[in-house]
Chains A and B, each alone.
Chain A
Amino acid sequence: MPETFTVFINGQPVTAGPETSVAALLLRERMVNRRSCAGQLRAAFCGMGICMECRVTIDSDAHGLGCMTFCRPNMKITTL
């Protein structure tokens, strides 16, 4: 895998690397990944795959676990 590549957050190209998790990338970009069931903004919280707050659409997976998923070239991340 190349050292840096492009991933897409809501269609916008962003540079990322294979050592960057989706959750870290979204925090870096100050992007909130989801709304809670009552509509609150939520971002990564526990950082280790327990709390599930970092769920976000990764390619076709509507509830991808952002903190456990590392960026890949051309990955499509859809927030909120």
Chain B
Amino acid sequence: MASSNRTFDLAVIGCGIVGAACARAGTRAGLRTIIVEGSLAGGGATAAGMGHIVVMDGSEAQLALTLYSRRLWQQLIPELPEAAEYRSCGTLWIAEHEAELELARRKQAKLAGQGVACEILDARQLMEAEPCLRPGLAGALRVPDDGVLYPPIAAQWLWQQAQNAGAVMRSGAIVTRIQEQAIHVAGGDRIQAGAIIVAAGSQGAELIPEIPLRPRKGHLLITDRYPGFLRHQVVELGYLQRAHAGTESSVSFNLQPRATGQVLIGSSRQYSHDRAVEPDVLSRMLARAQSYVPRLGDLRGLRAWTGFRAATPDDLPCIGPLPNRPHIFAALGHEGLGITTSLGTAELLLAQMLGAEAPIPAGPFQPARFFIETSPAGHA
């Protein structure tokens, strides 16, 4: 194959949304770029995800990365194809009772402090904003500039941007090993590149075993079309706590209006390698959603599926060079935020690669925090 005899400035492993964004950023920086994809581009976690473009404040670093990334998405929106189904529906963080509304107020203050438009809705305003919710909820935090999109098309579009700028793809190539400045693919082929970005999602763990990635399985179910049933992405405020409670499996209420009028119902979390839809988890997830939106019970579910989020122990992605192999960069471990943070990840990584000023502090995302020998102090 012609591509393997050439030398590239940048090779990206994995054409999910993160890899596609990195390839696009690479070509925009003038790098001769190749992307290596083992299966279907955008067919992994990208295809399974909800596509919620959301500001999350689980930590200061997470807030910085999601906020920066959301801004990048907003700049791209006018260019996205219609099939990417971007809708600026906003997020409603639901407070079930007064104590949660207090948490919502604190969250509001924190986000507002970062310049994020957001407002507290009381019980009545919440019912007006989202009439399908059950009565008796305390209120919500509304973040109007969050949105949703259809990730496989968004990823495909990002890749096409890279391709238009000269990037090439090596598809159907399974990467067996990476070296400084070379990728080995199954069949004995080698691809030479000045820098390598590993954006292979959960499979990244096989290439960089030092990074403790674990696949965190999630279930989703989508309904038939019910235009107007739901207006916002609606998430329970306790989502973060429930999502990362560390129990065997957790479900939380997370509902998304698709551009088609379909309702996408999430979500669940469990450490697992088993791809099967689990009746027990799925039914608990649906029961929880129904407890917030009683009329949801009458809607028809068409299809359920699962996907794997690549999770790190500290719930922050790895975005940066490997301490022992500085030409190899990780873009891994985005957990449930890969769609949102794909654009920010790409920019942050390219800045580090090219020695440019980082758009947000890169320190918390360094893979070095997981490399015991090279950083004995570590990061908790």
Contacts and interface: CB of A to CB of B under 8 A. Distances in A.
A and B touch in the complex (CB under 8 A): yes
Interface of A: 37, 55, 60-63
B5 interface: no
A37 B260 contact: yes
A22 to B, nearest CB: 16
A53 B298 CA distance: 19
Interface residues of B, number: 6
Interface in B346-379: none
B300 interface: yes
A76 to B, nearest CB: 15
| Residue in B226, B298, B300 whose Cβ sees the most chain A Cβ within 10 Å | B300
- Chain A interface mostly helix, strand, loop or mixed? strand
Contacts of A63: 224-225, 300
A63 B229 CA distance: 14
Contacts of B225: 37, 63
Sorted nearest first, the 10 A-B pairs with minimum C-beta distance are A63-B224, A63-B300, A62-B226, A61-B298, A37-B260, A60-B298, A37-B225, A62-B224, A55-B224, A63-B225
Contacts of A55: 224
B239 to A, nearest CB: 28
A30 B243 CA distance: 52
A37 B227 CA distance: 11
Interface in B276-316: 298, 300
Nearest to B260: A37
Contacts of B300: 63
Contacts of B224: 55, 62-63
Nearest to B224: A63
Contacts of B298: 60-61
Given A37-B225, A63-B225, 8 more contacts: A37-B260, A55-B224, A60-B298, A61-B298, A62-B224, A62-B226, A63-B224, A63-B300
10 contacts: A37-B225, A37-B260, A55-B224, A60-B298, A61-B298, A62-B224, A62-B226, A63-B224, A63-B225, A63-B300
A62 B225 CA distance: 9
A61 B226 CA distance: 10
A37 B83 CA distance: 14
Contacts of A37: 225, 260
A55 B302 CA distance: 13
A52 B225 CA distance: 13
Interface in B297-345: 298, 300
Nearest to A61: B298
A61 B224 CA distance: 12
| Residue in A37, A61, A63 whose Cβ sees the most chain B Cβ within 10 Å | A63
